[in-house]
Chains A and B, each alone.
Chain A
Amino acid sequence: MGRVMGLTGNEAIAYAVKQCNVDVVAAYPITPQTIMVEVISEYVYNGEIDAEYICVESEHSALSACIGASLTGARVFTATASQGLALMHEMLYIASGLRCPIVMGVANRALSAPLNIHGDHSDMMGSRDCGWIQIYAENPQEAYDWIIQAFKIAEDHRVLLPASINIDGFILSHSMEKVEVLEDEDVSKFLPPRKPLITIDPTKPVTVGALCLPDYYFEVKFQQLQALRGSLNVIREVNADYEALSGRKYGFLEAYAMDDAEAAIICLGSTAGTAKTVAMALRKQGKKVGVIKPWVYRPFPEEELIKAIGDVKAIAVLDRACSFGAPFNALCSDVIATLYHYGKDLRVFNCLYGLGGRDITPSDLKLIFEEALEVAKTGKVKEYMKYVGVRE
């Protein structure tokens, strides 16, 4: 079916971008994304890929250049992290508002202040409302697979929205794992050159980025919202096509040992991998626990989440980013809102963990599972907000 390579998360994404025959890459380096862009530059400078690599002078200009390039009909990629993502915040909304199918790799890293270069989700979570499709990978294999799928999803005329593939900074970006890669021809067949819907072709002039006063703004935004919601259907189709090609099955989320689970952890990214290992060990002890790992965070897959939750009685939602001043953090808020939406009454508590790259260990997760089982038994939550491993 393919070859096996040893790739870090950054390298896996770069390799996928190469195979996707990208046209323009405009990016600015920032730890821990740097290797991603350095590897892509090597591909370009060695002629392994025919693309224009613009060494822009800031992340804001990176996404600006990407938007310009995307409007010509080119296939465009960029990458960033943390402060860089924060710097391009304004442009994130513009990219989605102007319906540019840009794919971006984010090596999630903590936001200043204090300055920290390690992995947490505060960067992407801080921009979660920007209208982008947001996908979280658990390991380099998933990062590779999702990049290829993301181009196809984003460029679909029913979607035409940018997408970010998120990998935990350092934990995934710099750790090498076994990655099964497809053959170049297979990727090219799966993902032919981009067929844009409308471009700024000078022979067919269009005006892009007009001022929309209160009489039109809402309609344009609603249209965008419908496209984001509708992208779930396209993601489903692309997942099915990709499974046929690679043998790897994706969806909106992964449900592990959830069928008869009484308690579950919901979390994004690499932590889900650790959680699954701990769940497996606890299962051997007869404890009925499971893990739900959303791949697609935006648009939030409510229906699938409810299905995966099933008859679970207690959920611990793990957040790796703090929503300061909010009753719950981002992922937990979305889970609770979904439960409310579907009229499901079960106990949920939120664990804020791993900020600034602080490790979450199997024993941490074991305690959380046990707490969740306790809540499932008693029906009472003792602490709605827990902070994993914070010293007094």
Chain B
Amino acid sequence: MVRLQDLPVEELFTSGHRLCAGCGAGTIMRMTMKALRGPTVVVNATGCVEVASTIYPYSSWKVSWVHIAFENAAAVASGIEAAYKVLRRKGLWDKHVDVIAIAGDGGTFDIGIQALSGALERGHDFLYICYDNEAYMNTGIQRSGATPHGAATTTSPAGKKIPGKPEFKKDLIGICVAHGIEYAATASPAYWNDYITKVRKALEVNGPAVIHVFAPCPTGMRFDPSKSMEVARLAVQTRYWPVYEVEGGKYKLNIRVPQPKPLLDFLKMQGRFAHLFQPEAQRELEALQRWVEDNWKRIAALCGELT
């Protein structure tokens, strides 16, 4: 349990970055930085956070921070982790360093999946945080493997022939758990206590840990910037974004949603789903609703929860 009053006042992710007003990822970065326990190095993949927070000569980061490329946050983190390990062994370094790889859904689900898989399989001691705004937002809202079915993006537009993305979202945590890692979890920034607790827990893990956090994006998901946390909350309350953790392969539901709000409330808030409310897109809307239900049932069952 975390109390806001007890969180450090110091901002290790400072003001002055160029993230959009109301950016969910900005909130997530701040929360993440409040959860640190000691010397930390952040490895950031190319994306919204990286680009907006480090435009030369301005950097929002007061921890050591490294950006190398788009698809290799996990590989770079592996190198840093291994280097500190051997330097400590050789007596050339004396402290434990927490290595946190931060990447968007772009740098994780698609182009970054290989590096992530390799790093998880090798068992490096690091935390991987995927802030998921469900599209390649930084390059202009193109679809990713994390974009939900039916969402309109610039490469899966709400067209006359095909109304939004035909494919469904990948199960990132499932992929990570399949590697046999000790800890994986989902989170939403609207539930700051749950998220910060999870970051702290994940940092304690001796080995790889993955947190998949929903990052509301006013620009790409198309809603008023003031609604970011509301969207992040509704995502959970409609069962669209189940919040759970997997420890040693055992699933546990963290936020029960006994009386889910209607999914349509969540969808109606976002312009990227607006076309689904046309009669022509009835099938896609129903498919999305079915996917949300099936996904929830699957996760709940894994968590041993009676639905």
Residues of A in contact with B (beta carbons under 8 Å apart): 23-24, 26, 50-52, 54-58, 60-62, 64-74, 76, 90-91, 94, 98, 193, 200-213, 216
Contacts and interface: CB of A to CB of B under 8 A. Distances in A.
A218 to B, nearest CB: 12
Interface string B83-105: 11111011011010100000000
Contacts of A98: 68
A68 B78 contact: yes
A244 to B, nearest CB: 28
A69 B41 CA distance: 12
B55 A210 contact: yes
Interface in B27-65: 39-41, 43-44, 50-51, 54-57, 59, 61-65
Contacts of A210: 54-57, 59, 67
Nearest to A216: B56
B56 A54 contact: no
A52 B305 CA distance: 43
Given A61-B72, A211-B56, A69 B115 contact: no
B82 A208 contact: no
B122 interface: yes
A209 B68 contact: yes
B122 A55 contact: yes
Contacts of B118: 56-58, 61
B82 A64 contact: no
Interface residues on B, range: 35 or more
A18 to B, nearest CB: 14
B56 A65 contact: no
A98 B43 CA distance: 14
The 8 A-B residue pairs with the shortest CB-CB distance, nearest first, are A68-B79, A65-B79, A57-B118, A209-B67, A202-B39, A61-B75, A64-B75, A64-B72
* Most A CB within 10 A of own CB, among B71, B75, B77, B83: B83
Nearest to B77: A68
B19 interface: no
B65 A71 contact: no
B66 interface: yes
A72 B67 contact: no
Given A68-B80, A69-B80, A205-B65, 4 more contacts: A55-B122, A72-B83, A74-B83, A207-B65
B121 A67 contact: no
A197 to B, nearest CB: 15
Given A61-B75, A74-B87, A207-B54, A68 B68 contact: yes
Nearest to B86: A52
B219 interface: no
Nearest to B55: A211
A87 B54 CA distance: 27
B154 interface: no
Interface string B108-121: 00000011011001
B204 to A, nearest CB: 17
Nearest to A90: B69
A25 to B, nearest CB: 9
Nearest to A93: B69
A64 B68 contact: yes
A203 B82 contact: no
Given A54-B122, A58-B114, A216-B56, A207 B82 contact: no
B86 A74 contact: yes
Which of B57, B68, B121 is the most central at the interface, judged by chain A CB atoms within 10 Å of its CB?
Answer: B68
Given A56-B75, A61-B114, A61-B115, A68 B122 contact: no
Contacts of A65: 75-76, 78-79, 82
Contacts of B39: 202-203
A72 B59 CA distance: 19
Contact of B78 (A23, A26, A201, A216): A26
Contacts of A54: 78-79, 82, 122
B115 A67 contact: no
Given A61-B118, A64-B68, A210-B55, A24 B75 contact: no
Contacts of B115: 57, 60-61, 64
A343 B40 CA distance: 56
Contacts of A71: 66, 80
B269 to A, nearest CB: 31
Contact of A26 (B56, B62, B79, B90): B79
A290 B114 CA distance: 50
B43 to A, nearest CB: 7
Contacts of B83: 23-24, 52, 68-70, 72-74, 76
B75 A68 contact: yes
Nearest to A215: B56
Interface in B193-231: none
A64 B89 contact: no
A197 B64 CA distance: 15
A68 B69 CA distance: 11
A91 to B, nearest CB: 7
A60 B111 CA distance: 12
Given A50-B89, A202-B41, A205-B63, A69 B54 contact: no
Contacts of A204: 64
Contacts of B51: 211
A71 B55 CA distance: 20
Given A57-B115, A202-B39, A207-B54, A73 B87 contact: yes
A24 B79 CA distance: 8
Nearest to A193: B92
A200 B59 contact: no
Contact of B72 (A51, A60, A72, A206): A60
11 contacts: A26-B78, A56-B118, A57-B118, A61-B115, A68-B80, A71-B66, A91-B72, A200-B65, A205-B61, A210-B54, A211-B56
**Residue of A56, A73, A213 ringed by the most chain B CB atoms within 10 A:** A56
A68 B43 CA distance: 9
Contacts of B90: 23, 50
A204 B97 CA distance: 13
